[in-house]
Amino acid sequence: MYDLNGKVAIITGGASGMGRAASILFARHGANVVLADLNAQSGEEVARLASESGNQALFHRTDVSVEADVAALVARATKAFGRLDIMFNNAGIGGAVGPLEGISVEDWDRTQAVCLRGVFLGMKYAVAPMRAAGGGSIISTASIAGIDGYPNLHAYSAAKAGVVNLTRSAALEFACDRIRVNCIAPGGISTPILYGFAGNNKAAVEAMLAQGQPYPRAGQPEDIANAALFLASDASQFITGHTLVVDGGATAGPIALAPKPGQNRPPPERTFAGPSFEQ
């Protein structure tokens, strides 16, 4: 169902976390992959792992906030493989974290440059080769922080909200070209970007994340990679302008009201609340 045979994919932020998982998964499902990142050592290693599926995977060092870098990335993919079918704008940073009054303009701008401008540039340069190929799928990594408010994540939340609405406007513009534009809004995902906040203690991070949503485990990079695979494949060919939330139920409602694993629950009883005058 999720067949990417003959397709060419660019994945930014491909050297670690969700991008790493997506690079390996897309190659395993038949795509030739160009993965982009600033981390050349890890990027080359991921390209090697992805190539073990029998498909080609290349690494291209890219700063997604720099227009010339993104243009060169797309040119590399089209030169190497002759087309572009999938653009996964996944690269991101945590950016400016803390009280709004303490955020410097420089940190604010850098957050927007990577998390929002990078998505804009990926879309901008992907469109022409996708149009030439007869269509394509653009996927971007947003966040539940772009849907709900989170204290101390002002710059990140603003950038990810921008990704959500840029997805909608671009979907309207490019639907006539059979170019679908969607984004994924992850919840708490166990990735290296979070480990630094807990002394590089992965187990502690995952224990914390598991408490952050009703589903009783931390989100994994593969959860996002699987969602991206669906949006990249023809299985989602009638879906565009959509934000796919992958968060273990974190945004479904008040987490405090969700039953906890092992919690004793009252036996089900038939109840009904009618009009107030019947009470």
Task: Give the tens place of pLDDT for each residue, 47-97.
Answer: 999 999 999 999 999 999 999 999 999 999 999 999 999 999 999 999 999
Give domain status of residue 1, yes or no: no
Give domain status of residue 35, yes or no: yes
For residue 198, what pLDDT band results from cuts at 50, 70 and 90?
Answer: low
Taking the C-alpha atoms of residue 181 and residue 166, their distance in angstroms, rounded to an integer, is: 9
pLDDT at 201 exceeding the cut of 90: no
Give domain status of residue 166, yes or no: yes
Domain that holds residue 183: 8-278
pLDDT at 257 exceeding the cut of 90: no
> What are the distances in angstroms from CA 141 to CA 70, 167, 185?
16, 10, 6
pLDDT given for residue 249 in this prediction: 96
Asked about 156 being catalytic, the answer comes back as: yes
Give domain status of residue 211, yes or no: yes
Give domain status of residue 3, yes or no: no
Query: 24: domain CATH number?
Result: 3.40.50.720
What's the chain's length in residues? 279
Give domain status of residue 2, yes or no: no
Catalytic entry in 2, 156, 195, 215:
156
Taking alpha carbons only, the member of 24, 25, 8, 23 closest to residue 80 is 8
Give domain status of residue 42, yes or no: yes
Regarding pTM above 0.75, the answer is: yes
Name which residue leads in pLDDT, 62 or 257.
Answer: 62
255 burial type by CB count under 10 A (0-12 exposed, 13-18 middle, 19+ buried): middle
> What are the distances in angstroms from CA 19 to CA 16, 99, 118, 220?
6, 29, 15, 12
Taking alpha carbons only, the member of 89, 230, 88, 228 closest to residue 159 is 89
Taking the C-alpha atoms of residue 2 and residue 86, their distance in angstroms, rounded to an integer, is: 13
Q: How many domains does the chain have?
A: 1
